[in-house]
Amino acid sequence: MSPATRSLILPGVLTLLALIVLIGLGTWQLVRLAEKDQQTAQIEASLTVAPVPLPSQTEWASLKPAEYDYRRVSLKGSFQHDKEALAFGFISVGVRGDTREGFFALTPFVLEDGSTVIVNRGFIPQDKRAQSARAEGLIQGQMTITGLMRTPEKKGTFTPEDEPQNNLFFTIDPTAIARARQIERVAPFIVDADKSPIPGQWPEGGHTIVALANNHLQYAITWFALALGLAGVFFVFARNRLYRDI
């Protein structure tokens, strides 16, 4: 074995190990892509089926977010409008994807067994923030509503802090809302109300964004491209080393 060949052993081993890692990461991203595609298909299918009864309070502790998120449900009870909370948000309007800022009305919905679910009744524009500006929409009495079960939001790095003293939230978390509004026996999930007609129009339901972040294909291409680039660099390096020894 020539000195040049021996000098390639260590770089070759390190390159091989790096290639294994890069290809493994790319393959893992393809697996995640298939899983995300399957999850998206399941969500889209769930939106077309008839609503099922909301799980009872005895089942809440055993619910898994990945299994109930976007599940279409029906629930019977009554709203507690005096404990409504507002979450800052926006909706898309128009064909150009413009946005409109406002709030989402998060209203406790007391079920027949006395437990409570925070219902995102929908969007209200900024000039309808006060309940007096949308009194027609404060529906009273027992009713049955339908919507989508949603997992609690997680506070992002740049998400502002909630302002419970102003009844304003930037993260839709039922636990935080229940603590601020002094609500007991609250479900660990949210229900987004569907777009059923509301007297006076507001709040306007049906604004759930059904979209899962899915960048796994781009990530897979990146890892495989890095692996290909590394292999090319090593090939050129090895060729120059061997030619220099001739």
Examine the domain organization and report whether 27 and 87 are in the same domain. Answer: no
Identify which of 82, 72, 81 has the alpha carbon closest to the alpha carbon of residue 45: 72
Examine the domain organization and report whether 15 and 133 are in the same domain. Answer: no
Examine the domain organization and report whether 115 and 36 are in the same domain. Answer: no
Tens-place pLDDT, residues 129-185: 999 999 999 999 999 999 999 999 888 888 889 999 999 999 999 999 999 999 999
Q: What is the DSSP string of the chain?
A: --HHHHHTHHHHHHHHHHHHHHHHHHHHHHHHHHHHHHHHHHHHHHTTSPPEEPPPHHHHTT--HHHHTT-EEEEEEEE-GGG-EEEEEEEEETTTTEEEEEEEEEEEEEETTS-EEEEEEEEEEGGG-SGGGGGGG---S-EEEEEEEEPPP---TTPPPPBGGGTEESS--HHHHHHHHT--SEEEEEEEE-----TTS-SB-----------HHHHHHHHHHHHHHHHHHHHHHHHHHHHHH-
Instruction: Please list, in sequence order, all residues whose beta carbon lies within 8 angstroms of the beta carbon of residue 175, skipping any fewer than 6 positions away.
Output: 152, 186, 188
Residue 8 has pLDDT above 90, yes or no: no
Examine the domain organization and report whether 75 and 138 are in the same domain. Answer: yes
CB-facing half-sphere around the CA of 142: CA atoms within 13 A: 5
Please report which confidence band the pLDDT of residue 245 belongs to, taking 50, 70 and 90 as the band edges: low
Residue 243 has pLDDT above 80, yes or no: no
Examine the domain organization and report whether 18 and 94 are in the same domain. Answer: no
Residue 246 has pLDDT above 60, yes or no: no
Residue 45 lies in a domain: no
For the purposes of burial, counting CB atoms within 10 Å of the CB of 18, is it exposed (0-12), middle (13-18) or buried (19 or more)? middle
Residue 1 has pLDDT above 70, yes or no: no
pLDDT at 155: 85
Examine the domain organization and report whether 176 and 80 are in the same domain. Answer: yes
Identify which of 132, 90, 80, 151 has the alpha carbon closest to the alpha carbon of residue 110: 80
pLDDT at 97: 64
Examine the domain organization and report whether 71 and 183 are in the same domain. Answer: yes
Give the mean model confidence (pLDDT) for residues 201-211.
83
Examine the domain organization and report whether 58 and 87 are in the same domain. Answer: yes
Give the mean model confidence (pLDDT) for residues 218-235.
92
Residue 183 lies in a domain: yes
pLDDT at 36: 80
Q: What region does 206 belong to: left with phi over 0, alpha with psi -120 to 50, or beta?
A: left
pLDDT at 96: 65
Give the mean model confidence (pLDDT) for residues 196-220.
84
Residue 136 lies in a domain: yes
Of 60-64, 104-108, 213-217, 236-240, the range with the highest mean pLDDT is 104-108
Residue 210 lies in a domain: no
Residue 86 lies in a domain: yes
Instruction: Return the biggest CA–CA distance within the chain.
Output: 92
pLDDT at 197: 86
Examine the domain organization and report whether 90 and 162 are in the same domain. Answer: yes
Mean pLDDT of the chain: 88
Residue 117 lies in a domain: yes
Q: Which amino acid is at 52?
A: V
Residue 241 lies in a domain: yes
pLDDT at 224: 93
Say what the pTM is: 0.72
Residue 203 lies in a domain: no
Examine the domain organization and report whether 67 and 29 are in the same domain. Answer: no
Instruction: For residues 26 and 94, give the distance between their C-alpha atoms in angstroms, rounded to a whole number.
Output: 38
Residue 9 has pLDDT above 60, yes or no: yes
Examine the domain organization and report whether 172 and 79 are in the same domain. Answer: yes
Range of the domain at 34: 3-40+215-245
Q: Return the residue matching tokens 């061997």.
A: 242
pLDDT at 34: 86
When divided into structural domains, the chain yields a total of 2
Choose the weakest-confidence range: 4-18, 118-132, 156-170.
4-18
Give the mean model confidence (pLDDT) for residues 13-18.
92
Examine the domain organization and report whether 86 and 162 are in the same domain. Answer: yes
